[in-house]
Amino acid sequence: MAFLRSMWGVLSALGRSGAELCTGCGSRLRSPFSFVYLPRWFSSVLASCPKKPVSSYLRFSKEQLPIFKAQNPDAKTTELIRRIAQRWRELPDSKKKKK
């Protein structure tokens, strides 16, 4: 129920009304629980929204993970991520912004 309430709040923030969501019913939705197909509609709305750009750290880690895996084939992924994070911390700010 909390999930549906939060979805209803998001729809309100997007400026959607119940009448827009209910095709064919002809009346406004009075509560978040009266619309069953909300998750499907909501996922289609999110798919059309522009995505947030990838952060410099994520781009750096995606580039470095295959390199670290090749150098340490037996190491666990968590250990590789720790090493990548350590290397990221050691980079100067100018290179972090550049990446």
Q: What is the pLDDT of residues 16-28, one digit of tens each?
A: 655 555 555 555 5
Task: Quote the Cα angle for 26-27-33, to 5°.
Answer: 120
pLDDT for residue 63 is more than 90? yes
Residue type at position 87: R
What would you report as the CA-atom Rg of the chain, rounded to the nearest whole angstrom?
Answer: 22
Specify the pTM.
0.51
- What band does 66 get if pLDDT is binned at 50, 70 and 90? very high
Return the CATH superfamily for domain 54-97: High mobility group box domain (1.10.30.10)
Are 60 and 99 within 8 A, CB to CB?
yes
pLDDT, mean of residues 40-54: 77
| Selection from 70, 60, 67 nearest residue 97 by Cα | 60
